[in-house]
Copies of this chain bind each other. A is one copy, B any other.
């Protein structure tokens, strides 16, 4: 029996949430979950429809993107996940989707401006849209370079991956992450909803202002600050 049974089960469940939440069509998208002690992660196999997946199909890969266990080829985006796990030591899950509104913003090559408390409950910054990758990066090891494009975009803007758990890759689509695969899935759904709200707000009022700093701070801190009082404190 696989040593990774629990990890595979966890990432299977995370993947199955994506169609339930309306974030993926057919084989689009993928979720992974890491076992940080063993420096491996489990990820969806490439191009398999969600309703044909089983936990045993999940592929075990190390943080350099090398397959350790699995009968199927892992997601074509595996190396992007690997780069994020390798560089960000506190994440336990990564999700990639082509969800409709988030992808529309990525195609528009625009950051999603922070316009309301729904956004501020989850992050204090605009949701960054990384520039489309350079020709060199695309023609090189494309998926690995996508990981570096994400790392660099956060660094260039002075953002911490522990506070900003989502990004758009310009002309492409969103990636999210978090302490667990479950949290990364949650972030993908929140991103899609925030992307839709921002799109609609700007249709209603093209001059709608950015959220004021005091509200950004308040909503973030009541959920995530030292004196957070949202939730059950666990």
Interface residues of A (CB under 8 A from B): 25-28, 45-48, 72-73, 76, 98, 100-101, 103-110, 115-118, 132-133, 135, 138-139, 142, 171-173, 186, 189-190, 193, 196-205, 208-209, 211-212, 214-215, 218, 222, 229-233
Contacts and interface: CB of A to CB of B under 8 A. Distances in A.
B26 A197 contact: no
Contacts of A200: 100-101, 104, 199
Copies in the complex: 4
A117 B168 CA distance: 12
Contacts of A232: 45-48, 72-73
A148 B200 CA distance: 28
Contact of A76 (B47, B214, B230): B230
A116 B171 contact: yes
Contact of A108 (B47, B107, B173, B205): B205
A98 B110 contact: no
Nearest to A170: B116
A95 B45 CA distance: 29
A66 to B, nearest CB: 15
A102 to B, nearest CB: 10
B132 A215 contact: yes
Nearest to A213: B135
Contacts of A107: 115-116, 197-198, 201, 208
